Amino acid sequence: MKTIDMRYFAFLTDRLKGDVKDVSSAGDVEQLRVKYLGRKGLLSKASQNFKLIEEPDDRRFYGRGFSEFKKFATSVIEELQAKYQDEKRIDKVDLTLPGRRDFSGGLHPLTQVLEEIIDIFRGMGFTVETGPEAETVYYNFDALNTPHWHPARDLTDTFYLDIPGDDKLNWLLRTETSPVQIRVMERKRPPIRIIAPGRTYRKDKPDATHSPVFMQVEGLYVDKGVTFADLKGTVVAFYRALFGPETDSRFRPHFFPFTEPSAEVDVSCLFCRGEGCRVCKGSGWLEMGGSGMVDPNVLEGVGIDPEVYSGWAFGLGIERIAMLKYGIEDIRLFYENDIRFLEQFD
């Protein structure tokens, strides 16, 4: 009996020493206290063995082991309590700890790209104009010289608004930001030098490169003697500011109702610098958007004399630029509001 009892307190002592090594907080200390000194703890259980020992000498021996261990455990735990009390206080002013993260949110990647674009154009003397997203057929198509047969006017391509009493479907969600240009030209006289950023809508089935809502920026410059060379110079300077000084641009003839002549703008591929890669499908060029000289019919429509004034306009897609800049392969990510995607752009 004697030897077993001695082993029991020696065993408890070793066990406590082992447990102490795992303590790293005030909470751990409290758990240790409960385990050894608590009402249902190991020491309390050991005290119940007294009555099972018949020999008075054995009982004394056991009693000595018991009180020695109790003393030892109490001092160890008190020491730990004191230590972690102190550390808790130090924690509050520990200058070596990393700073707490401020959950103030970040700007959406499209907003970041848009702000960068606005900055570049502001630097070239453009001001920002905005207009309504719900537009009339007049501003969205007629005033922009869009022929009546043009497919963009189709119910299958455009979100017309079902407004009671509007049987002719006069209202729609704008399909481009060009209506802003008409509104500005109606109320301002040249020189006009603006960009119009904003959301636009088309009935596109969402896939990796199409979204029914997307963002555009359009630029417009109207003054005396404005030429296609001015357009080229501005567009080239813009894409160099955005994508880097080695960026080349090229203009391919195209048709847009609003401009005549019209051209598609391509820039040299950012990834292969013209060598040909997967992103540019081997061509070395990336399509960026439309441009051209404002059609004289459009100027006449807003009361600006096309014999005196001329102008150019261009448009580009914000998502397209953000996708190229950040290497994003699916346009839908911009509109799903998945925080795991968005927080990468903080």
- Identify which range of 126-134, 213-221, 245-253, 270-278 contacts Zn ion by CB under 5 A: 270-278
Phi, psi dihedrals of residue 297, rounded to the nearest 5°:
-60, -40
Name the minimum Å distance from CB 328 to Zn ion.
Answer: 16
Judged by CB under 5 A, does residue 280 bind Zn ion? yes
Nearest residue to 299 via CA among 158, 134, 189: 189
Q: Which one of residues 8, 72, 160, 271 is an interface residue with Zn ion (CB under 5 A)?
A: 271
Residues 102-120, buried b or exposed e (16+ Cβ, 10 A)? eeeeeeebbebbbeebbeb
| Residue with Cβ nearer Zn ion (233 or 282) | 282
Binding range to Zn ion, per CB under 5 A, among 30-38, 110-118, 249-257, 273-281 = 273-281
Q: 1, 237, 272, 328: which one contacts Zn ion (CB under 5 A)?
A: 272
**What's the CA gap between 161 and 173, in Å, rounded?**
7
Cα separation, 216 vs 176, in Å, equals 7
Site for Zn ion in 139-168 (CB under 5 A): none
Q: Which stretch binds Zn ion (CB under 5 A): 3-11, 53-61, 72-80, 268-276?
A: 268-276
Q: Examine residue 269 and tell whether it contacts Zn ion (CB under 5 A).
A: yes
Do the beta carbons of residue 261 and residue 293 sit within 8 Å? yes
Q: Which is it for strands 259-268 and 171-173: parallel, antiparallel or unpaired?
A: unpaired
Q: How far is the CB of 284 from Zn ion (least distance, A)?
A: 6
Cα–Cα distance measured from residue 34 to residue 299, given in angstroms and rounded to the nearest whole number = 87
**Which of 306, 309, 302, 313 lies closest to 187, judged by CA?**
302
Question: From CA 153, how far away is CA 160, in angstroms rounded?
Answer: 9
* Per-residue binding letters, 94-113, with Zn ion (x by CB under 5 A): --------------------
- Residue found by looking up tokens 């927080």 in the block: 343
Q: Kind of pairing, strands 127-128 and 134-136? A: unpaired
Residue selected from 277, 302, 328, 342 as contacting Zn ion according to rule CB under 5 A: 277
Output the smallest distance, CB 277 to Zn ion, in A.
3
Tokens of 108: 């959406």
CB of 120 to Zn ion, least distance (A): 23
State both tokens at 65.
Answer: 């082991």
We find the least distance from the C-beta atom of residue 270 to Zn ion, in angstroms, to be 8
For Zn ion, the closer CB: 213 or 277: 277
Closer by beta carbon to Zn ion, 299 or else 321: 321
164 SS3 class: coil
Closest contact distance (angstroms) between CB of 291 and Zn ion is: 22
Interface residue list for Zn ion (CB under 5 A): 269, 271-272, 277, 279-280
